[in-house]
Every structure is written in structure tokens, then in C-alpha cells.
Amino acid sequence: MSRGTAKHVTVGKRVEIPAYCDLWMQGARTGTVERFKGGSGNYLAARDPRGADLFGVRMDHPQVKRLVWVVADDCSYL
């Protein structure tokens, strides 16, 4: 799996979520990027205090119904 930067990834690309996510540990590892939220540099943001870019990932696992928000730089691209 190659690593890239968030600006090179568009909606529809396949990613593997980071290993520190609970869903990854439960077997839901891969999905498709459905949304992209650019980092505002706001270090007080609720979702990500680093102000990083976020991906909204629709997981392949059939039991995961919600969109999973993960830090773009922590994802592995497939």
C-alpha cells in the first residue's frame, strides 16, 4: 500500500482506515472516500484538534452503516 497526500485523493478512491480506529480492530478495514473536508488550521476543532484534512469513508463492511470520519494523512491508499 502506498502513502500519498490528501490533495491527491478524490472522492471515489479506495482507502484503508488507520489501525487505531475501533472499526479497523473489529474487521472493517477498507472503504471508499465519499466526502473530503479540508483542514481549517483550527486547532480547537472538535473532530480533529490538529486541524488536518478529514475523509468521510463509506466502509465495505455490511454492518457499518454510518460514514466514518478519519484523518486523511493516516489513511493508506489502495
In a domain, 1, yes or no: no
Q: What integer best gives the mean pLDDT of the chain?
A: 81
CATH at residue 27? 2.30.30
C-alpha span between 30 and 60 (Å, rounded): 6
Whether residue 36 contacts residue 53, with contact meaning beta carbons closer than 8 Å, is answered with: yes
pTM for the model stands at 0.75
Q: Where are the alpha helices (DSSP H) in 1-78?
A: 22-25
Report phi then psi at 24, rounded to 5: -65, -40
Domain range for 53: 6-77
Mean pLDDT (10-residue bins), the chain, 78 residues: 54 92 94 84 56 87 93 87
In a domain, 35, yes or no: yes
Number of structural domains the chain divides into: 1
